[in-house]
Amino acid sequence: RLKPFNRLQVILQHLKMSKHTDSTAEVLLEKRGGAGIITLNRPKALNALNLSMIQQIYPQIKTWEQDPETFLIIIKGTGGKAFCAGGDIRAITDAGKVGDRLAQDFFREEYILNNAIGTCKKPYVALIDGITMGGGVGLSVHGHFRVATEKTLFAMPETAIGLFPDVGGGYFLPRLSGKIGCYLALTGFRLKGRDVQKAGIATHFVESEKLPALEKDLIALKSPSTENIADLLNSYHVKSKIDQEKEFVLDEHMEKINSLFSANSMEEIVKKLKQDGSPFAIKQLETINKMSPTSLKMTLRQLREGASMSLQDVLTMEYRLSQACMRGHDFYEGVRAVLIDKDQSPRWKPATLEEVSDEFVDNCFKPLGNNDLKL
């Protein structure tokens, strides 16, 4: 029998381990071979990101970054349906309504985590299998490698709930080719499978059933460099045959997207779409008309400014915007219409683009003094 002290040590050790590998934990953090592995583990909630998950992931990334025995970081989701469908919007809404700190803390800590991923010194591999939206995009897109599969469904649907494409959307969206980023941001258009890679959001495409083998090979790499990891991912990518011949879903519309979405104001984009009158343009108009006018104006400016900013400056700007949304009307109304009552008919205030003044939008971008995000 173990001596009492040793037994206590064993129990403590077991508790420590089980906290990280316990199947009920919302996020699993483990070290396998040379890889630190983050597994988002809220399958019933499509692995939506909440504050406690952020608070576990961030220090672990920082620890692995300093650890000479950790050569790469892998992040993935459980359940087969989603990598991560977004942030825990319901909790933020409830908090914002009553002025609870969570409405500040969630965005602050989420953006600090997005920045840690964007500046991570170790190669960071996100396996974005399944739904990857909003907060899930923030956990993946700023890392070195993003591996999409035929099950990947990417979107930044925030303008439909009175928010804006945050988590560094102002950084990566305007850097996609042509005006794709602007189009995705304003309309919330969904990209699927290989198109996520063709749009430049994912770096590689690998069949979903090959991910376990890929992960095993990544873990087995002996002190790999970023190039070694890239070579391994490339070798899987070139062998993936699904939809190999299909052209990019937006190819036929790229000319229109580039001309129609290059206008300087939302009003001008709408005018151009009306003038164009093609089935594609009409469809975009219908979509844009459902979105929060405030969100649309905020988003267009966010992307225009973000195009020439560092990731840190973009996240600082987006934190200001997040708090403007928390103070406003449309976010709560959008969440009500889309997620709570599900009547899909939000009553936006102001209801038209013309009523959203430049002065109001300017105010959303103003520094928050001591409350600004510090990175």
Catalytic residues: 87, 135, 158, 166
Q: Rounded to whole angstroms, how far apart are CA atoms 202 and 196?
A: 6
Phi and psi at 250, nearest 5°, equal -95, 0
Residue 347 identity (one-letter amino acid):
R
- Quote the distance between the C-alpha of residue 288 and its chain's center: 21
Q: Cα angle at 270 between 262 and 304, to 5 degrees?
A: 35
Q: Are 103 and 338 in contact (CB under 8 A)?
A: no
Beta carbons of 252 and 152 less than 8 angstroms apart: no
d(CA 139, CA 320): 20
Rounded (5°) CA angle 105-181-37: 50
Q: Which of 63, 13, 254, 38 is nearest to 143 (CA)?
A: 38
Calpha distance 320→301 (Å, rounded)? 13
Residue with tokens 């700190």: 101
Q: Is the dihedral of CA 200, 188, 26, 103 positive or negative?
A: positive
